Amino acid sequence: MIEDITFTTQLKDPVAIAELMMSHPALPMLGCEHAFITAGALLAALRNSPYAKVTKQDIREVFDRTAKQAVGGYCGLTGVCGIAPAVGACFSVFLGSRCGSDTEQKITMDAVIKVSQGIADLTGPSCCKAYVRSALAAAVTIFAERFGIMLPVSKVSIVCEDSRRHPHGCREEKCPYYHKPSRDIFTDAINMSATVCHS
């Protein structure tokens, strides 16, 4: 499903592409599939933009690299969420970075650091869906600042609908994507304590 959407979507907004992927009913709440979602959404948006040439071979290379480091449970065992190297692979392939390259390797590492910091800021407990959103926000900013590649991202706030599915307990109000339950002000008014004046 992730590959199919990555290779066929005409959307240009990486966040919209990721949200489409994450809405698939077969996708688990947590898991390394989210690393491939992040990479696929970012690369599909770049491919559909007028600024970058991204080939099917590039996408497959990024997925191959991601598979080597996005391993289930290693976010807790090594402190490295697979989404960070997935974004690193995107930058590396985009720039032609390799061991020993100069600016290309530095930009790639800087991108991974920014993504990792965004993920760390949302941890406790972990949430792959929040990490996808944070990582894409960081990557979009870097592409804009470093290369002038402006990927169109909707200004509408993302509201997560998956909090009840979280096996470790959603962070709720601590998460910027949390869907706060709506309050019924009329029911609240009925249950409000009243002050009685005895004068």
- 18 and 37 Cβ atoms separated by less than 8 Å: yes
Determine the average pLDDT of the residues in 162-183: 84
**19-23, 165-169, 191-195: which has the highest mean pLDDT?**
19-23
Say if 184 falls within a structural domain.
no
Containing 38, the helix (H) or strand (E) segment is: helix 33-48
In which domain, by residue range, is 78 found?
2-153
Say if 7 falls within a structural domain.
yes
Say if 168 falls within a structural domain.
no
- 14 and 140 Cβ atoms separated by less than 8 Å: yes
Say if 178 falls within a structural domain.
no
Say if 192 falls within a structural domain.
no
pLDDT at 181: 59
Span 37-89, pLDDT tens digits: 999 999 999 999 998 899 999 999 999 999 999 999 989 899 999 999 999 99
Predicted TM-score (pTM) of this structure: 0.88
Q: Which residue has the higher pLDDT, 156 or 129?
A: 129
Q: Distances in Å between the alpha carbon of 170 and those of 91, 127, 151, 162, 198?
A: 31, 8, 30, 9, 47
- 132 and 122 Cβ atoms separated by less than 8 Å: no
Domain tally, the chain: 1
Say if 34 falls within a structural domain.
yes
Say if 159 falls within a structural domain.
no
Check whether 182 has a pLDDT greater than 80. Answer: no
